[in-house]
Structure 1
Amino acid sequence: MIEVTQGDGPLVLGLPHTGVYVPPEIAARLNETGRALADTDWHIERLYAGLIDGVTTVRTRVHRYVIDVNRAPGGESLYPGQNTTGLVPLTDFDGVSIWRDGQAPDAEEVEARRAAYHAPYHAALAAEMARVRERHGFAILYDRHSIRSRIPFLFDGTLPDLNIGTNGGATCAPGIAATVGDACAASGYSTVTDGRFKGGWTTRHYGRPGEGLHAIQMELAQSTYLAAEAPPWSYDKTRAERLRATLRAILETLSDWRP
């Protein structure tokens, strides 16, 4: 369920939410809302494909409704006091239940899923971060995400196009946040750093700049590259090509960064 492509550069690209695989025994317990898999990071792997050579990628094929590999393994909230979804979500991003009545997993099952799907993803990611740091003296994790631009259950109003997460600057060197911020500011897209999304568990866990491990999250509004933020979640090539130019600039500047 874990796909790893090794590169020789300093960048490691995470893909935690593009997978759509749900084991049949779990899919049977999802209700109609859950089976729609609406909270997928649609087409992110296609959007970033071929933008830059030499990068390492780590991806899970498992859908976030099975278990969310970007949540803390202990289940604690990353955004206390705000609506969010958990390690194994009980609702979708609109706050609507995704499980058939009485079919939501209990604590024992959540732990089994953590061991089966969450732990292997992070074992692979940690191994690649260590390998890249050994080669270059540092490693940069760029965690790739996307989300609908309007979700009242999670945030007010419309999300900016490009949302950079560094947990208040704690997860990467200032120069990394600055180079990404500058590329976004020059793009013509709306952008914010550490707004509603400050970086998920992955960014916060791996971002240890003092150890040569840097992490930054990019949360894209899906309006920037989808034909519509609704089924069938079609990829809009014209919108996507414009966005790809900005993403290429971001990855190139990160690849060129040195401590």
Structure 2
Amino acid sequence: MNNFLKFDIKDKIVVRSPQKKILPLIVSSPHSGRNYPPDFVAASALTPLRLRSSEDSFVEDIFSYAPDLGASLIQALFPRVFVDVNRQPYELDPTMFSDFLPHYVITQNSRISAGLGTIARVVSNGERVYKNKLTFQEAEERINHFYRPYHDALQTLINNTKDEFGYCILLDCHSMPSGRIGTNNPSQSKPSRLAEIVLGDCHGTSCHPHIMKSSNEFLTECGFSVRRNIPYAGGFITRNYGKPKEGVHALQIELNRALYMDEQHIEPLEEIKPLRHAMTGFMEQLGNLVISDMGYKEAAE
């Protein structure tokens, strides 16, 4: 029996709810977990520090004031390299497994080819994660005991928020390596400026257009260089839950790690403090957007 099966739910997921829910906002941090199961680390070909290179480190800290604003915050405490909740449940690379995969498993897409399926083959710099091949049972145990509880908890938050407010805004929070450059012009292969923030709405399908517009304007006014949808349009969480016609609006945000951390040593910099302050203001602005039959307006109006 894998030791990680003994993990209690409190070791897998944290949901921080406000004393009083004032905003129809849910903040999700699916990739900042750093609770590494010991038997997973032992099975890896990498050092613990190299394993952490795929983390969206400290993102939960940057958005930690969500409950103080009256919003809910959910975080996966386990790392994405162990099982990635921002994928479909069964995106698996067959070359990683010693046995055959069931027919319902997705075995071919761009994420799997890159080694970044539900169970990752590599970390962010392309280094191989495992010494040996896995069994499908190992993957299914991670999916059933870690992946599904996260999505169950997130769906419950969405349902409760919709019941209370009539709609819900989901902000899915990530960080990106500083070497990745974004541009709004698909024909421009070498953009002139490094994106500090990339906002993704799945090319206009996961949230009301005013959410993207107002978010872009607010963050730009804060002094950040902001790009939309390129190179990150939104992962599984944004695509799966963002259903504007059903009252669920999902927006993905990617923060350039150079803004707040030493990427080589995975340590926060002093600059994390003003970034946290800016993101607190952003969450407040986002949560105060309300929907009516006539469109969007400011909650204070």
TM-score greater than 0.5 by the shorter chain: yes
> Aligned equivalents of 1:211 and 1:159: distance in 2?
35
Aligned CA distance change for structure 1 residues 70 and 125 (closer, same or farther; 3 Å)? same
Matched with 2:65 is 50
Matched with 2:79 is 63
Higher Cα radius of gyration: 2
Matched length: 252
2:25 is the alignment partner of 1:14: no
Consecutive unaligned residues in structure 2, runs of 5 or more: 1-11, 92-105, 182-188, 292-301
Matches within 5 A, 1:133-172: 133-150=162-179, 160-172=195-207
RMSD, aligned CA = 2.3
The offset of 1:198, in angstroms, is 0.7
Matches within 5 A, 1:1-259: 1-7=12-18, 8=21, 9-33=23-47, 36=50, 37-50=52-65, 52-75=68-91, 76=106, 79=110, 83=114, 85-100=116-131, 102=132, 104-150=133-179, 160-226=195-261, 228-231=262-265, 233-237=266-270, 239-259=271-291
The offset of 1:108, in angstroms, is 2.9
Query: 1:19-69: CA deviations, max 9, x gaps?
Result: 111222211101125653211111112222226511101111111111011
Aligned CA distance change for structure 1 residues 169 and 78 (closer, same or farther; 3 Å)? farther
Aligned CA distance change for structure 1 residues 160 and 122 (closer, same or farther; 3 Å)? same
| Residue type of the alignment partner of 2:58 | H
The offset of 1:156, in angstroms, is 7.7
**What is the DSSP-based 3-state SS (H/G/I as helix, E as strand, rest coil) of the residue aligned with 1:59?**
strand
TM normalised by structure 2 equals 0.77
**What is the DSSP-based 3-state SS (H/G/I as helix, E as strand, rest coil) of the residue aligned with 2:195?**
coil
| Residue type of the alignment partner of 2:118 | L
Consecutive unaligned residues in structure 1, runs of 5 or more: none
Aligned CA distance change for structure 1 residues 184 and 38 (closer, same or farther; 3 Å)? same
Moved over 4 A (4+): 76-82, 155-159
Query: In percent, how many aligned pairs have the same letter?
Result: 26
Aligned CA distance change for structure 1 residues 209 and 194 (closer, same or farther; 3 Å)? same
TM normalised by structure 1 equals 0.89
> Aligned equivalents of 1:242 and 1:54: distance in 2?
21
Deviating more after overlay: 214-223 vs 143-152: 143-152
